[in-house]
Amino acid sequence: MKQIQQLDELQDWVQQETSVGRRRVLVPTMGGLHEGHLSLVDIARQQAGKEGRVVVSLFVNPTQFGPNEDLGAYPKSLEKDRQLCEERGADLLFAPEADGMYAADASVGVSEGRLSRGLCGGSRPGHFDGVCTIVSKLFNLIQPRAAVFGEKDYQQLAVIRRLVRDLNYPIKIIGGPIVREDDGLAMSTRNQYLSPEERSQAVVLSMALLQARQALDGGERDMLRIRGLVERVLSGSPLARLDYLETVHPDTMQAVEEPGDALLIAVAVFFDSTRLIDNLCWREEG
């Protein structure tokens, strides 16, 4: 597997791959890779086929972190991440430095003005401006035919799909299912910040969403009851501090008063300073 840090070297590689018609599939990450990330690499490998190229980007993007968030503490494990990517069949690891991706006087960015307003966009102002900008830069640099994003960050996935639609990127966006630990906790790089007691209580996120799924599958359609069910399960964890609990349509991110044929229940919870997110995307069968 090849590793590239400099943009000019990346551009030379992309030009060479384009000249021979090789399909590229991108998996954008911020490193600290776990099985959730690697499942996206597996999907990319399937999409690329034997002759295509799987590109994993590893960049802790400073523009999507707020002033009081964990940019400085975000795990950096480049050598381990490189080995994991190689084992899963990636062809290129692009791991630039921040000064290579952003000029000191950078003044142009990309914003999405509708799907990013609530949920994480509401509690992390400016976050999705940073996401849209860095993803646009990666798309421009790598020119992939497809890109894979995890469904754990469901709002991000919806925002990226809108970005691709509205800016006419010729890129297929693929969502990868949430990968969970044995007890149900969604895999996240931030899980390693949790104390043993916080880790044992963090399972309430998936427990609450499971209760909601069972209620929906059983015919419950009263949104107040569904939200109340989720809140009661979350309240069973003394260390959990709710950031948001939202019930929205998964395609529009707009609040819904009744499930209809599709519903996204999205939740963000703090354990001390560690913020975890999870969601349930439910669709009416048939």
The arrangement of strands across the sheet holding 24-29 comes to: 2-4, 92-94, 53-58, 24-29, 146-150, 172-176
* Pairwise CA distance, residues 9 & 5, whole Å: 8
Scan for tokens 């050598």, then name that residue. 79
Tokens of 82: 């490189």
Cα separation, 173 vs 170, whole angstroms: 10
CB atoms within 10 A of CB 176: 20
Q: Interhelix angle for 35-48 vs 78-87, to 10°?
A: 40
Backbone phi, psi, residue 177, to 5°: -60, 155
Question: What are the CA-CA distances from residue 99 to residues 27, 68, 78, 132 (Å)?
Answer: 21, 21, 17, 18
CA angle 204, 178, 251 (to 5 degrees): 100
- Among 34, 37, 127, 249, the one annotated catalytic: 37
Residue 249 annotated as catalytic: no
Which ranges in 88-143 belong to alpha helices (H)? 98-101, 119-123, 127-142
Among 74, 35, 30, CA closest to 177: 35
Kindly list the catalytic residues.
37
